[in-house]
Amino acid sequence: MPAPSLAVSRETDIAVVGAGAAGLYAALCAAREHASVVLVSATPLAQTASYWAQGGLAAALAPDDSAELHLRDTELAGRGLVRRSAAEILVADAPDCVRDLQALGVRFDADSSGGLALGLEGGHSVRRVVHAGGSATGRRVVRQLSALVAAEPRIAVLEGARARALWRSHERCAGLICDDGQIIAAGAVVLGTGGAAAMWARTTNPPGSQGVGLLLAHQVGADLADLELLQFHPTAVIGIAGREGFLVTEAIRGEGATLHDSAGERFVDELAPRDEVSRAIQARLLQSGEQSVGLDMRAVDPAHFPNVVSALRDAGLDPTRELIPVAPAAHYTMGGIVADLHSQSTLPGLYAVGESSCTGLHGANRLASNSLSECFVFARRAVAHALAEPAPARQAPSITELQQLSELPAPPIGNAATRDALWRDAGIVRSADGLQRLLDNPHPLVRAIARCALTRTESRGAHQRSDHPQRDPSLDGRHVVVHNGPHAGAEELLTSAEQIDWQAWT
Ligand code: SIN
């Protein structure tokens, strides 16, 4: 790494870290308000988790739908832990975000009369999910937003740059330092760095989903929450070289695909919420000793899901003739950086959007396709709030302050041993024994996940404890929050019991 120059390299109104759906949209929303933006993206634009997203955006758009119904489904799926105020915002604003994306040039799939085609997914009581290119929604949306970002003169894109540490100054987030030593001074920083599901051995996520934003935020004192709540997607391809973890979208079950055990029997309502379907599959696998169950999509029109069908064919599977071997895989981090209803973290000036954030919206089990909607609804709110704040007077940082900033360590990345440990000890079903083992893991986020999971002595949604198999009603609406002091250092994450507490968010 080149030696940092110890001088501010750029000044901007808003610095956005991460170029997934939430980050790109935040950057565009800020530019629309005539703000200057620096967008920091570690990966080329096409490699974010959003680009991989096969699901769509859930929005109450159908004549037989309403915000109230969407809210009810979100709360039912979330198993008594959904923060109602956040979910109300999501369901009210999602339709408008769909329209805004259309205005920005995203072409969603149409039905035969030219209206939006609405798909059905698990946990939704009506058809409510808009897609683009069938199961290529993430790719289509991210491509279009990336093109707009690239053409927008108010947005400077630092592609290939990595945020190494956030800059805390005068009790707020004042910017960040990149791994090449560039220091960016910003009125506000928006983290859209995605989740941590690639820290588990079997995952649907790209390798970059390592919870880096969570560590960056925590290092400067922002709270994290609900790290025990990791959603396992029921239908990831398993046992096929080169396609391990490939997601077969739930929308395919919405169009009639069915799940079968080794005896050929159906064993679960395929459109139940994800926690229920994943658990049912896991139970069958334990019973049979097999690695996978079969997904029968022979009755589904392959033309509706071209990228899934062609990926399966490339792997030597013909979904029009045979069952696809699937099993649950780590998919989505419901926990993350504690964020209020404007996406602001507990450190003023620092915002978290999309999967890196935890507003409490998803409770203990996210409703399918609420996550892309969340990216847009809450990224827009983050930017509106950040720009409405009176701009803090920028003070020239002292050499000592810059020196401290340049010495902050980069967040650690998990390795194969970490991934195996999380899969084994913090998998679909966990218990105190395995979780205790994780407390000695060298990776600070693994330890934090274990501490949260040990704290939640119950089974709820995605968090199933074999030693506490029941839901504890006294924990309804209560979130596990992880505190840290400023500049405590990622390595010090959760070294003492006092740093965890329970909070109820309204
Ligand atoms: C899927 O299409 O099944 C995944 C989308 C999501 O995670 O909501």
Residue 5 lies in a domain: no
Q: 499 pLDDT band (50/70/90 cuts)?
A: confident
- Ligand 1 close to Cβ of residue 219 (< 6 A): no
Residue 195 lies in a domain: yes
CATH of the domain at 188: 3.50.50.60
Q: Does residue 50 share a domain with residue 176? A: yes
SS (H, E, C) 1-69: CCCCCCCEEEEEEEEEECCCHHHHHHHHHHHHCCCCEEEEECCCHHHCHHHHCCCCEECCCCCCCCHHH
Query: Which structural domain range is residue 136 located in?
Result: 10-228+334-392+401-407
Give percent of the chain with pLDDT exceeding 90. Answer: 81
Q: Does residue 108 share a domain with residue 27? A: yes
Q: Does residue 354 share a domain with residue 224? A: yes
Give percent of the chain with pLDDT exceeding 70. Answer: 93
Give the end of a domain, one of 366, 384, 407. 407
- Tell me how far apart the alpha carbons of residues 501 and 222 are, in angstroms, rounded to a whole number: 14
- Ligand 1 close to Cβ of residue 190 (< 6 A): no
Residue 235 has pLDDT above 70, yes or no: yes
Q: 189 pLDDT band (50/70/90 cuts)?
A: very high
Q: Does residue 76 share a domain with residue 188? A: yes
Residue 354 lies in a domain: yes
Per-residue pLDDT tens over the stretch 290-347: 999 999 999 999 998 988 999 999 999 999 999 999 999 999 999 999 999 999 999 9
| DSSP secondary structure of 74-131 | HHHHTTT---HHHHHHHHHHHHHHHHHHHHTT----B-TTSSB-EE--TT-SS--EE-
> Between 111 and 1, whose confidence is greater?
111
Rounded mean pLDDT, 174-186: 93
Residue 252 lies in a domain: yes
Q: Does residue 173 share a domain with residue 288? A: no
CATH of the domain at 262: 3.90.700.10
Residue 3 lies in a domain: no
Using most ligand atoms within 8 A of CB, pick from 73, 74, 209, 233 the residue to mutate for ligand 1.
Answer: 233
Instruction: Extract the tokens encoding 69.
Output: 């119904």
> Between 206 and 488, whose confidence is greater?
206
Nearest to 331, CA basis, from 48, 20, 135, 49: 49
- Ligand 1 close to Cβ of residue 278 (< 6 A): no
Q: Does residue 143 share a domain with residue 112? A: yes
Residue nearest to atom 5 of ligand 1 (CA): 55
When the pLDDT of each residue in the chain is averaged and rounded to a whole number, the result is 92
Q: Does residue 134 share a domain with residue 194? A: yes
Nearest to 15, CA basis, from 4, 6, 27, 31: 27
Rounded mean pLDDT, 159-165: 94
Beta-carbon neighbour count of residue 303 at 10 Å?
A: 8
Q: Does residue 41 share a domain with residue 181? A: yes
Give the end of a domain, one of 284, 305, 329. 329
Residue type, 471: R
> Between 138 and 423, whose confidence is greater?
423
Per-residue pLDDT tens over the stretch 26-76: 999 999 999 999 999 988 765 666 666 677 999 999 999 999 999 999 999
83 an active-site residue?
no
Q: Does residue 44 share a domain with residue 107? A: yes
Per-residue pLDDT tens over the stretch 66-83: 999 999 999 999 999 999
Q: How many domains does the chain have?
A: 3
pLDDT value of position 492: 61
Residue 137 lies in a domain: yes
**Span of 117-121, 124-128, 230-234, 486-490 with lowest mean pLDDT:** 486-490
Residue 360 lies in a domain: yes
pLDDT value of position 490: 55
Ligand 1 centroid from CA 191, angstroms: 22
Residue 421 has pLDDT above 80, yes or no: yes
Q: Does residue 448 share a domain with residue 303? A: no
Q: Does residue 152 share a domain with residue 139? A: yes
Give the end of a domain, one of 286, 306, 329. 329
- Ligand 1 close to Cβ of residue 368 (< 6 A): yes
Ligand 1 centroid from CA 273, angstroms: 11
Find the catalytic residue in 140, 154, 274, 419.
Answer: 274
**353-to-80, 189, 258, 332, 357 alpha-carbon distances in Å:** 23, 11, 34, 14, 5
Residue 380 lies in a domain: yes
pTM equals 0.94
- Ligand 1 close to Cβ of residue 249 (< 6 A): yes
Q: Does residue 63 share a domain with residue 124? A: yes
